[in-house]
Chain A
Amino acid sequence: MNASRKWILQRISALLVAPLIVWFCVSLISLSTSSYEEVMNFFGNPMFSWLTIILLVAGFFHAKIGLNEIFEDYIENEKIKNIANLLTFLLSIIVPLITIILLLYKF
């Protein structure tokens, strides 16, 4: 991915994440003292679960680009930087993927 494309994608994902994370954060504060049933009902709502899915995809993507940027600035050793980038890539795929599968099939 070239730098200008990264730059644009970082901003597009930021615009997606910004309103969603504010909504999710308020929901999380509210749900943090809720019962299991209430949480299951919340994510059982298709609109809420889909908004959460968009948030997770855009959020982890945004985090991945951001971390790559930080590694670029502070890791001198190319090998270590590549490993760090690979781990970040795997993390940003696997964690949301598992969560999304559960969101789609278990609520």
Chain B
Amino acid sequence: MSDSKNPLSPHLQIYRWQISSLLSITHRITGILNLFGLIFISAWICSAGIGENLFEYFSILLKTFFGKFILIGFTWSMSYHLLSGIRHFFWDLGYGYEIKTANFSGIIVVISSFVMTIILWLIGKGLI
């Protein structure tokens, strides 16, 4: 980390957008969003620990459209990052480097992330 001779990543805008680079940057963006999710979760837990009055603000927020948007957004962001992470694990093990395979697994990750979001919400709501 302290090695200043490490080259910087080539700037994103130089490259033509491809599915591989788009999915890669999405992995990073969802990672950052998930950190905000963790902070939100921590704040929510803390509010309950501190007292009912503070917790009520969160309850009201979570029942609004904006609150639902945050929750659904976090569910998707977490799902995408997790599934994309599994894709990274396969690469770590040495599989899936063929361009066709990598593009295919990428598309599978995107589709699955939405499916997973829906499934988690159905479970969370007690519908399945």
Contact = CB atoms under 8 A, between A and B. Distances in A.
Interface of A: 1, 3, 11, 14, 18, 21-22, 24-30, 32-33, 36, 39-40, 43, 52, 56, 59-60, 63, 66-68, 70, 72-74, 76, 78, 85, 91, 95-96, 98-99, 102-103, 105-107
Interface string B34-60: 110011011011101110100110010
A22 B120 contact: yes
A67 B32 contact: yes
B28 A70 contact: yes
Given A43-B48, A52-B45, A103-B49, A29 B38 contact: no
Contact of B6 (A1, A72, A98, A99): A72
Main SS at interface, chain A: helix
Contacts of A66: 28, 31, 35
A106 B50 contact: yes
A96 B41 CA distance: 10
Contacts of A36: 48, 52, 55-56, 59
Interface residues of B, number: 41
B100 interface: no
Interface stretch (B14-22, B70-78, B101-109): B70-78
B50 A32 contact: no
